[in-house]
Amino acid sequence: MRIKNHPILGERQEAKEIEIIFDGKKVKAFEGEMIASALVAAGVKTFRYTTRNNEPRGIFCAIGRCTDCVMEVDGVPNVRTCVTPVKSGMVINTQKGIGQWKGKTS
Amino acid sequence: MERENKLKTEFAVIGGGPAGLCAAIEAAKYGVEVTIIDENLKPGGQLFKQIHRFFGSEEHLAGVRGFEIGNILISDAQKYGVKVLLNNIAWGLFEDNNIGLCDTNKVSILSCKKVLVATGAIENSIAFPGWTLPNIMGAGAAQTMINVNRVLPGRKVVTVGSGNVGLIVSYQLMQAGAQVECIIEGLPEIGGYQVHASKITRMGVPILTRHTIIKAEGEKFVQKVIISQVDDNWKIIAGTEREINCDLVCIAVGLKPLIELCRMAGMKFEYLAELGGFIPVHNENMQTTIDGAYIAGDITGVEEASTAMEEGKIAGLAVAMELGKIDEKKGESELASAKNRLRALRMGPYGEFRHQAKQNLINSYYKYKNQMGA
Amino acid sequence: MSKVIDKADVVVIGGGAVGTAAAYHLALKKKKVILCEMNNIASGATGRCGGMVVHCYGRELNIEKTAERLMYTRENTKIMNQYQKTFDIDFEFQQIGCLDIATSEEEFEGLKNLIKIQRSVGDDEIELLDKQETLEVMFNLNKKLVFGSRFRRSDGNLNPFFLARAQAHEAKKLGAKIFTNTKVEKILIENDQVQGVETRNGIIEAGWVVNATNGWASQLTQDLEIVPVREAAMVTERLPKLPAQPFEMLCFGDFAYGCTQTATGNYNLGGPAPARPPKWDYYDTTIYSDEVLRVMSYISEIFPSLKNVSVIRSWVGTMAFTPDGMPSIGPMPTTKGLFITAGYPDGMAWAAVSGKLAAEYIVDGKTSIPIQNLNPGRFIGKTKICWPEPYDLTICHEYLSKQGGKN
């Protein structure tokens, strides 16, 4: 959910709207914002599932230190979404376990 | 075969938050060649999520909001010619203060004469059944989401911890449009400043002291928590369990310094719970037990941006003096002023406590130095 | 004067894979065992190695002793297979084969020669693979750098922490006592007979002492020729199981680089890290930036799939060699009651069997496999300790560049 009017920060400054793809669905995002931010705005809470017990995980520290929020981004798993900015057309998938390594290790 | 980029600078500052920026600016003022390294896309550290007005004196930019201070410092750094390497992770601090860096494309080794490690701190968590559920996050994380990214991760919030972070973030969540159901606190009294506590209670948010969180439940993310009262021995009082529906839990149980690089470099440490955990020992000029390596900011003990800024200035001055860029008399006088301002920030009941802890750290530095025969 | 704090039949010094093996096998034979470890279990070479299990380590280094080595290391594997059936803790032992890769035509000719020698002494398992066959075993190697390999199918890897922990756990179940953070300052000897050990906390009396301290062994037992050697290692993030084998790759001068994927999916990489001036400290566990970069870049030259993978941790460890490259296992000839088991650069292929041999010798007076050739006293009066010479690793760098290793 996006905060449009904020008592201190005021109106949201103009930023270019772009589109990213999350689990096959188109999601609106603002250029320059972090992937996690765009996903939270779209109501996403679960970012990945753990390897051993398949448990859902989301954001914990949001400053790139804890790696709880990692997802598969453009075919590469273990990308920290809280410190990685979006790009138009970026493909983001919920990561299952260690994820799929498309094209990176063949 | 491509190998690494070899870079050089006089003074490397790892971490571009308030401590790092102030150290860089201070050293650069006296002609030191400075490079700041930060893994983010923008320097400023935690300043940019601080939307409240700072306390302190005019010198400490009292009345100015954190993010505004961030902008001022960044522009000062540019003014004094500080180089800033963004999007670079420092993955190693090696002998002779060589720093391993990498961005998304290349590995670099940065050699320098002096280094400042100002990598800040990270939020703690507490483990309870269900603590890993999505939307149970650090209070600072929620703060980043609302103040920097302008997105609200949840609408019905339970905050665990009534220190300043818990109080302030709860208040800011209300400002952003969420409803904070309650703030729970294990101790018998509220941890943070009264002024913050009053603001949040005036908005109708109860602060439940002597309470703990028993578990969190939810299918794919948190949907409710069970809290209860605890007695003087932190034992759960049977029959006081209560369910609270919520979709966001903010954990505000303190921070601990990010000291991995310091461990790698072989610095000596002291465990001080009141400052957040294991802290590298340092002297009054922020010098650690490793020659040429300094620390400043939350890594030296979790405090505030204002103390981080002063510590940064002290480190920057010390480095400029060590490199012979500033006349000794002037240097000593500037250092004395900075140390006075720092002392002033640690007055009052909360401050004295921290000042004493910092003194213990400095005493440990000298104890180690004697042992090492220096 | 220190006081006596405990008594045992045997004190084992060293809590790595070798020491815990000795403790377990002695406890199995109903001996009262106390193990003293100066830090934590597996804090020496065991906890810093890559976990590779290589039955015949090295190239020209005592190649003529292949059959002898296999005698021990095959028994070692048998014992570990037995552990897997009975132990509580699973130490992730997988026998997935290991490639020894030749990165030039000359090297491949060299390997052909080595195989000839190995066959002549009875090794019917080692295989010579040409370039094509090597790439069939592991297709994602850099074709430009692969000229052929030696391959042993029964090689593999394991989790060294879990192996040491598993043996320690089983030893404790059988009544052994394990004292960590207990450094043995001295082995107490009177009239050429072991009396026990002296620790910071006091004396432990025992009729037998097993020195299983590998890189530190000659600090406790003067006449032992054991050379500590520094190695760098690192581990990557977890990756899906790749159809790849552990492999070793030599650069000029017999320096091996190793790479293996663990059961959890992380890759362990390792390579030489010679001690350097001015400290010349062979026990120095600080890692240097050039060591990290060298190991990473060489291994990713031959295994380009790793180029985009993150390394999450890097460190340096101390392993050990004897002057002839075979470990020292046996009673110290000069002292009654002192058993040595040390000198392992390839310890995971020896730990379990060395523990069994130690227990057999101490309890039964004889061993199921003869150990005379591994007599720890064999160097007395014959050689002087030869500390590893500083070697110029830029040779490797130039060599690989010339081989057209650019990807």
pLDDT in tens, C371-397: 999 999 998 877 655 555 544 555 455
Residue A102 covered by a domain: no
Residue A86 covered by a domain: yes
Coil, strand or helix at A30: strand
Do B246 and B225 form a contact (C-beta atoms < 8 A)?
yes
Mean pLDDT of chain C: 89
Nearest to B176 among A6, A56, A82 (CB): A6
Domain extent, residue A89, equals: 15-95
Average pLDDT value for residue range B337-342: 94
Instruction: Give the residue extent of every domain in chain B.
Output: 5-122+255-371, 125-251
Task: Identify the H or E element spanning B36.
Answer: strand B34-37
Comparing alpha-carbon positions, the chain B residue that sits nearest to A4 is B150
At residue C229's C-alpha, the angle toward residues C223 and C232, to 5°, is: 160
- Asked if CATH classification 3.50.50.60 holds for the domain at B125-251, the reply, yes or no, is yes
First vs last C-alpha separation in chain B:
43
Residue to test with chain C: of B1, B4, B103, B105, most C Cβ within 10 A: B1
Q: pLDDT (tens digit, 9 = 90+) per residue, B207-245?
A: 999 999 999 999 999 999 999 999 999 999 999 999 999
Instruction: Give the residue extent of every domain in chain C.
Output: 4-402
d(CA B315, CA B32): 13
- Residue A106 binned pLDDT confidence (cut-offs 50, 70, 90): very low
Phi, psi of A31 (to 5 degrees): -55, 135
Answer whether C400 sits within 8 Å of B266, measured CB to CB: no
B109 interaction partners in chain C (CB closer than 8 Å): 289-290, 293
Answer whether B155 sits within 8 Å of A56, measured CB to CB: no
Q: pLDDT (tens digit, 9 = 90+) per residue, B83-137?
A: 999 999 999 999 888 999 998 778 999 999 999 999 999 999 899 999 999 999 9
d(CA C316, CA B148): 41
User: Does C339 score more than 70 pLDDT?
Assistant: yes
A9 interaction partners in chain B (CB closer than 8 Å): 51, 147, 150
Chain B residues with CB within 8 Å of chain C CB? 1-4, 92, 94-95, 98, 100, 107, 109, 266
What kind of architecture, by CATH, is found in domain B5-122+255-371? 3-Layer(bba) Sandwich (3.50)
B107-111 and B114-117 beta bridge pairing:
unpaired
Omega of the bond prior to C278 within 30 degrees of 0, cis?
A: yes
Nearest CA-CA distance, residue A13 and chain B, Å: 11
**pLDDT cut 90: percent of chain C above it:** 63
Do C170 and C79 form a contact (C-beta atoms < 8 A)?
no
Answer whether C237 sits within 8 Å of A76, measured CB to CB: no
Average pLDDT value for residue range C310-326: 88
d(CA B66, CA B154): 24
Answer whether A101 sits within 8 Å of C239, measured CB to CB: yes
Nearest CA-CA distance, residue C405 and chain B, Å: 7
Nearest CA to C151 out of C110, C101, C193, C106 is that of C101
With b meaning 16 or more CB within 10 Å and e meaning fewer, what string describes B31-56? ebbbbbbbbbeebbbbbbbbbbebeb
d(CA B266, CA C234): 19
One-letter amino acid of B34? V
Question: C-alpha distances in angstroms, A99 versus A48, A80, C240, C300?
Answer: 9, 13, 8, 21
Phi, psi of C245 (to 5 degrees): -105, 160
Residue to test with chain B: of A2, A5, A8, most B Cβ within 10 A: A8
* Contacts across the B-C interface (CB distance below 8 Å): 30
Q: Do domains B5-122+255-371 and B125-251 have the same CATH topology?
A: yes
Average pLDDT value for residue range A37-62: 95
Residue A42 covered by a domain: yes
Nearest to B152 among A3, A47, A83 (CB): A3
**CA B362 centroid distance within chain:** 19
Nearest CA to B133 out of B216, B212, B213 is that of B216
| CATH code of the domain in which A51 resides | 3.10.20.440
Total of domains in chain A: 1
* DSSP of C314-380: EEEEEEEE-TTSS-EEEE-TTSBTEEEEE--SSGGGTHHHHHHHHHIIIIISS-SS--GGG-TTTTT
Q: CA quadruple C146, C150, C154, C157: dihedral positive or negative?
A: negative
Q: CA quadruple B288, B293, B296, B299: dihedral positive or negative?
A: negative
Q: Which CATH superfamily is C4-402 part of?
A: FAD/NAD(P)-binding domain (3.50.50.60)
Residue C79: the pLDDT is 98
Coil, strand or helix at C2: coil
Please indicate if any CB of chain A lies within 8 Å of the CB of C239.
Answer: yes
Residue A5 covered by a domain: no
pTM for the predicted model, two decimal places = 0.86
Angle of the B194-202 helix axis to the B164-175 helix axis, nearest 10: 30
Q: What share of chain B is helix, strand, coil (3-state, %, to 5)?
A: 35, 25, 40
d(CA B61, CA B43): 19
Phi, psi of C354 (to 5 degrees): -65, -35
Q: pLDDT (tens digit, 9 = 90+) per residue, C220-262?
A: 998 888 888 888 999 999 988 876 667 776 654 456 889 999 9
